[in-house]
Amino acid sequence: MPAAPAPAPRAGRGLELAEIFRAHGAAYRPTHTLSRAQRRAMHAIETCRTAALGGHRDTCDTCGAVQISYNSCRNRHCPKCQTLAKELCLRLQRGGGVRV
Ligand SMILES: [Zn+2]
């Protein structure tokens, strides 16, 4: 089976690890030995902020605009989730407030 073509990066940013895992993870896993934790991390990263983890709808009380957000995996190895955690930690260390 030929390898899937590499996904094209979206405009304005580089290629994400999740995109690489989604494109090549299914072919990679059967041919490489991974620990259970590694498999779980790969799956978490692949599904982070996708419909696979569900989501929620936020509606603006003022204008009624609706925004759908997908849930995060919260895996400690996920770059998306850890980037947010790192930013919050840095803001707290700098003495800045954090809005939740
Ligand atoms: Zn994540």
Q: Can you tell me whether residue 82 is helix, strand or coil?
A: helix
Where do the domains of the chain lie? 17-73
Please tell me the number of Cα atoms within 13 Å of 57 on its side-chain side: 5
**Amino acid symbol at 32:** H
pLDDT per residue as tens digits for the range 39-88: 999 999 999 999 999 999 999 999 999 999 999 999 999 999 988 778 88
Residues whose Cβ atom is located within 5 A of ion ligand 1: 48, 72-73, 78, 80-81
User: What is the whole-number distance in angstroms between the Cα of residue 81 and the centre of ligand 1?
Assistant: 4
Residues 6+ apart with CB under 8 A from 78: 41, 44, 45, 48, 72
User: What is the whole-number distance in angstroms between the Cα of residue 19 and the centre of ligand 1?
Assistant: 13
Q: Report pLDDT for 9.
A: 54
Give the position of tokens 């840095």.
Answer: 90
Show the tokens assigned to 21: 């895992």
Helix 79-93 × helix 17-28 angle, to 10°: 150
